[in-house]
Amino acid sequence: MATSQNIILDKNNSFTIRVNPWDTSVFEFTVTEVFDLNYTDEKIIFKEIDRINLILSSQLCCLRHNSKDIKAKKSLLANGFYVAENSLQANFNLKKTKTKKYFDFYLAETKQLSDLQVIAARDFHYSRFHEDPYIDIEKAKLRYVNWITSLVESANCWIAQNQEEKIIGFFAYTVDSDIININIVGINSLFQGYGLFFFSSMMEFLKARGTTAKARFSAGNTDVLNVYAGLGFTFSNSLIDYHKWYTKP
> Are the CB atoms for 218 and 105 separated by under 8 Å?
no
CATH of the domain at 175: 3.40.630.30
Q: What are the pLDDT digits (tens) for 65-111? A: 999 999 999 999 999 999 999 999 999 999 988 899 999 999 999 99
If you count DSSP H runs as helices and E runs as strands, how many of each does the chain have, helices first?
Answer: 7, 11
What is the C-alpha separation between 196 and 118, in angstroms, rounded? 22
Instruction: Using the predicted structure, report yes or no on whether residue 192 has a pLDDT greater than 90.
Output: no
Structural domain total, the chain: 2
Residues recorded for the chain: 249
Rounded mean pLDDT of the chain?
95
Looking at residue 249, what is its pLDDT?
Answer: 75
223 and 152 together in one domain:
yes
**What is the tens place of the pLDDT at every residue in 105-133?**
999 999 999 999 999 999 999 999 999 99
- Is the domain of 53 the same as that of 114? no
Do 75 and 96 belong to one domain? no
- CA dist., res. 15 & res. 47, Å (int): 12
Task: List strands edge to edge, sheet with 158-161.
Answer: 5-10, 13-19, 31-38, 60-66, 234-245, 82-93, 212-218, 179-187, 167-176, 158-161, 106-107
Angstrom distance (rounded) from CA 138 to CA 120: 12
* Mean pLDDT value of segment 185-210: 95
Percent of the chain whose pLDDT exceeds 70: 99
For the chain, what percent of residues have pLDDT higher than 90? Answer: 94
Confidence of residue 2 (pLDDT cuts 50, 70, 90): low
Domain residues for 193?
Answer: 92-238
Q: How confident is the model at residue 159 (pLDDT cuts 50, 70, 90)?
A: very high
Same domain, 78 and 27: yes
Mean pLDDT of 137-151: 97
> Does 73 share its domain with 195?
no
Beta bridge partners of 85: 241
Q: Is the pTM of this model over 0.75?
A: yes
What is the average pLDDT across 136-157? Answer: 97
Question: In this structure, are 222 and 103 located in the same domain?
Answer: yes
The answer on 178 and 65 residing in a single domain is: no
> In terms of domains, do 109 and 221 share one?
yes
List the beta bridge partners of residue 87.
218, 239
- Answer yes or no: do 126 and 177 share one domain: yes
CA distance 242 to 34: 10
Q: What pLDDT, on the 0 to 100 scale, is given for residue 29?
A: 96
Amino acid at 240: I
- Indicate the pLDDT class of residue 1, thresholds 50, 70 and 90: very low
Residue 31 shares a structural domain with residue 97: no
Strand residues in the chain grouped as ranges (E): 5-10, 13-19, 31-38, 60-66, 82-93, 106-107, 158-161, 167-176, 179-187, 212-218, 234-245
Report how far Cα 124 is from the mean position of its chain's Cα atoms.
12
Query: 209-240: per-residue pLDDT in tens?
Result: 999 999 999 999 999 999 999 999 999 889 99
Whether residues 99 and 166 share a domain: the answer is yes
Averaged pLDDT, 148-160: 97
- The verdict on 58 and 102 lying in the same domain is no
